[in-house]
């Protein structure tokens, strides 16, 4: 097939051998906050398509509750340097400080951009954007809590998602909704592999679509469904990260996964940190405010990794509540009905609906829940994807949770996720536009959909006896039990052995639905393949980091080791993932941490 020449407007879809072909200057994979923020910048300057396996306003950005950090100083004194310091310290000094400075500096414009787009932030009596406290946010480099989180009740992510989508529609962005991207086509040009297209599976018809472009932006979110107890939606299966991994490109800092302290006990559904920002208190079974012992300065507003570990310790030492003494309490009763109903309406309803507990009159059972991946696709501060420590892949960008800038280090500061998607989503869009102005289309191979066709038809036609739900449940329960807040080499080896066993059983899967339209059975089978890949990288990276830092706590190596491990992990797929030992197909390298002004020090709160 001969592809059409470059144009400023998309060509009509052409069909060759049952495969639909499209051409755009920029293709964005993922329609959450990062993807749509990139589209808003890209759309006016280049023909742009956004591909999403969900309708855009169902993306997981909409589940973010508490707020978006920016040193506006609307309520009390604040500045971007304090925000930078909190980001670096909160990330346990594994943060690239040049990226943190960009995040904190550009935060102010990012919030104002959203306000100008129409986002309905909560307001002060004077009409300014209101701000509240959040974990790890301090004034004057750690001296006291500060009000830095801009918010829209406890629906901030939902409001951001709606606002961005409305502005994408306003700009005429092309959306391909419920199209599941399953492959990134790489073509060698002058000895260098470059992206030339992506292949997507249309969930409504079962047909394959090839999108050729000059630049590609991955904004596909996280992969929290490797765990059973998680705040992540069922769709967060790491598809974009998994595609990059299978192409032989590295993944960075995959061992660092954040466990949010306040998930509804037994369910993992998130109760925002904004509750503690408004004054809610964590208590053990005897009613003790236990965080006073661990973080005497900012107590319940310590960073998430610290609070999660303290909570697990409280339960392990017998101070848990409930029949099995396996959870703690979030006490909001002193805040009053007005605060809960106006500033925290969603979490109030969640507690009532899912646990039958009314936060107005009784404490809510909570325990840590898998929440956010600090690691992912390595990028520089321009959102360009890295082939190794320094070399970029021309025309390939990533932003949001699927990317690792690294602005979150080993533990993301609360409210920096909504900020990250806006700052680096915007950068990805602008830099992609600049790139395509001089770039040419990279030729597609003769049959670009061959791999995806084989993958889909192989699963659809399989007659195996293994059920996807059974394998997924075993993976998630094992990750919860042995690779969660606390880890050891022994527990991580057990997970590795389980993953290898599940890989063997995955070869014998069968799907009951053989149809082509909205085949969720088939979809979940593909997703499980990505989950197995990513869980293995997480565990392999964790076994090789013999220290404790941020979201990665090793009981057998309980201290932070800056001498040997103040470096980023870079994992590479080097062989057949079905081999018996992860060491046979995963190689690790290390990348220096960028330190500009803040030298590593002990984290005291």
Residues placed in the known binding site for FAD? 30-35, 52-67, 239, 401, 417-418
148 is catalytic: no
What are the DSSP calls for 300-311, one per residue?
GGS-HHHHHHHH
Distance, CA of 152 to CA of 68 (rounded, Å): 9
Q: How many Cβ atoms are within 10 Å of 471's Cβ, its own excluded?
A: 21
**Element at 236 (helix H, strand E):** none
Distance, CA of 273 to CA of 260 (rounded, Å): 9
Tally the residues of the chain. Answer: 605
Distance, CA of 184 to CA of 151 (rounded, Å): 36
Distance, CA of 208 to CA of 195 (rounded, Å): 18
Do the bridges between strand 281-283 and strand 257-264 make them parallel or antiparallel, or are there none, so unpaired? Answer: unpaired
- In Å, how far are 283, 293, 319, 330 from 288, measured between CA atoms? 5, 10, 9, 11
Question: Which sign, positive or negative, has the C-alpha torsion 249, 252, 256, 262?
Answer: negative
Cis peptide preceding 406, ω within 30 of 0: yes
Distance, CA of 461 to CA of 499 (rounded, Å): 24
Rg (CA), the chain: 23
* Contact predicate 144/136, CB 8 Å: no
| Total H helices, total E strands in the chain | 16, 25
Distance, CA of 290 to CA of 365 (rounded, Å): 15
* Contact predicate 68/151, CB 8 Å: yes
Distance, CA of 74 to CA of 62 (rounded, Å): 25
Residue bearing tokens 């509804």: 264
Binding-site residue ranges for substrate: 260, 272, 371, 412
Binding-site residue ranges: 30-35, 52-67, 239, 260, 272, 371, 401, 412, 417-418
Half-sphere exposure (Cβ direction) of 112: Cα atoms closer than 13 Å: 8
Residue 57 main-chain phi, psi, to 5 deg: -75, 0
Q: Write out the two tokens for 554.
A: 């090793």
Q: Is 567 exposed, middle or buried (0-12, 13-18, 19+ CB in 10 A)?
A: middle
Q: Write out the two tokens for 344.
A: 């925290």
Give CB contacts under 8 A, 24+ apart, made by 438-441.
Answer: 439/214, 439/215, 439/394, 439/395, 440/6, 440/214, 441/3, 441/6, 441/23, 441/196, 441/212, 441/213, 441/214
Q: How many Cβ atoms are within 10 Å of 33's Cβ, its own excluded?
A: 32
* Helix (H/G/I), strand (E/B), else coil: 519: coil
Catalytic pick among 147, 304, 472, 554: 304
Smallest CA-to-CA distance from 547 within 555, 562, 557, 533 is with 557
Enumerate residues 6+ apart whose C-beta is below 8 A from 17.
Answer: none
Task: Give exposure, 357-379, as e/b (b: 16+ Cβ within 10 Å).
Answer: bebbeebbbbbbbbbbbbbbbbb
**Element at 494 (helix H, strand E):** helix 489-506
Residues tagged active-site? 304
């Amino acid at each position: 097939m001969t592809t059409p020449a470059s144009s400023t407007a998309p060509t009509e879809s052409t069909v060759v051998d049952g495969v639909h072909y499209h051409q755009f200057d920029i293709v964005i994979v993922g329609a959450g906050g990062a993807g749509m923020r990139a589209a808003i910048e890209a759309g006016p300057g280049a023909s742009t398509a956004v591909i999403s396996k969900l309708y855009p306003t169902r993306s997981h950005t909409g589940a973010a509750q508490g707020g978006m950090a920016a040193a506006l100083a609307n309520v009390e004194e604040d500045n971007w340097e304090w925000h930078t310091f909190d980001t670096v310290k909160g990330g346990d000094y594994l943060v690239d400080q040049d990226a943190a400075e960009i995040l904190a500096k550009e935060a102010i414009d990012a919030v104002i951009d959203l306000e100008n787009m129409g986002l309905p932030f909560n307001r002060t009596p004077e009409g300014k954007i209101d701000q509240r406290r959040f974990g790890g946010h301090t004034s004057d480099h750690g001296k006291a809590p500060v009000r830095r989180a801009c918010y829209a009740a406890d629906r901030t992510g939902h409001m951001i998602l709606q606002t961005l989508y409305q502005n994408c529609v306003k700009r005429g962005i092309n959306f391909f909704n419920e199209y599941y991207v399953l492959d990134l086509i790489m073509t060698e040009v002058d000895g260098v592999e470059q992206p030339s297209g992506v292949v997507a599976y249309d969930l409504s018809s079962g047909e394959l679509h090839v999108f050729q472009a000059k630049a590609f932006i991955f904004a596909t979110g996280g992969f929290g469904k490797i765990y059973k107890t998680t705040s992540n939606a069922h769709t967060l299966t790491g598809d974009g990260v998994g595609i990059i991994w299978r192409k032989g490109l590295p993944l960075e800092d995959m061992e660092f996964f954040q466990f949010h302290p306040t998930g509804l006990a037994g369910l993992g559904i998130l109760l925002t940190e904004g509750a503690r920002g408004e004054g809610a208190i964590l208590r053990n079974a005897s009613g003790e405010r236990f965080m006073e012992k661990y973080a005497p300065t900012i107590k319940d507003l310590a960073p998430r990794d610290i609070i999660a570990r303290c909570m697990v310790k409280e339960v392990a030492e017998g101070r848990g509540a409930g029949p099995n003494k396996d959870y703690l309490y979030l006490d909001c009763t002193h805040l009053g009905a007005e605060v809960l109903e106006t500033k925290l309406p969603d979490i109030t309803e969640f507690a009532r609906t899912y646990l039958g507990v009314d936060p107005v009159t009784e404490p809510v059972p909570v325990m840590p829940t898998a929440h956010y991946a600090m690691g992912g696709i390595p990028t520089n501060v321009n959102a360009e994807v890295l082939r190794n420590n320094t070399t970029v892949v021309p025309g390939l960008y990533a932003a949001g949770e699927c990317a690792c800038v690294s602005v979150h280090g080993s533990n993301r500061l609360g409210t920096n996720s909504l900020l990250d998607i806006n700052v680096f989503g915007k950068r990805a869009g602008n830099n992609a536009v600049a790139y395509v102005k001089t770039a040419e289309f990279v030729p597609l191979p003769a049959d670009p959909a061959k791999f995806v066709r084989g993958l889909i038809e192989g699963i659809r036609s399989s007659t195996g006896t293994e059920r996807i739900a059974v394998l997924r449940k075993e993976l998630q329960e094992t990750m919860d039990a042995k690779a969660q807040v606390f880890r050891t080499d022994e527990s991580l080896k057990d997970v590795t052995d389980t993953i290898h066993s599940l890989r063997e059983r995955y070869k014998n899967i069968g799907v009951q639905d053989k149809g082509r339209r909205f085949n969720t059975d088939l979809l979940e089978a593909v997703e499980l393949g990505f989950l197995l890949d990513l869980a293995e990288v997480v565990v392999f990276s964790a076994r090789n980091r013999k220290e404790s830092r941020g979201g990665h706590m090793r009981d057998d190596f309980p201290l932070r080791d800056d001498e040997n491990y103040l470096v980023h992990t870079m994992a590479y797929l080097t062989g057949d993932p079905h081999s018996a030992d992860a060491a046979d197909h995963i190689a690790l390298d290390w990348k220096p941490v960028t330190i500009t002004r803040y030298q590593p020090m002990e984290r005291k709160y």
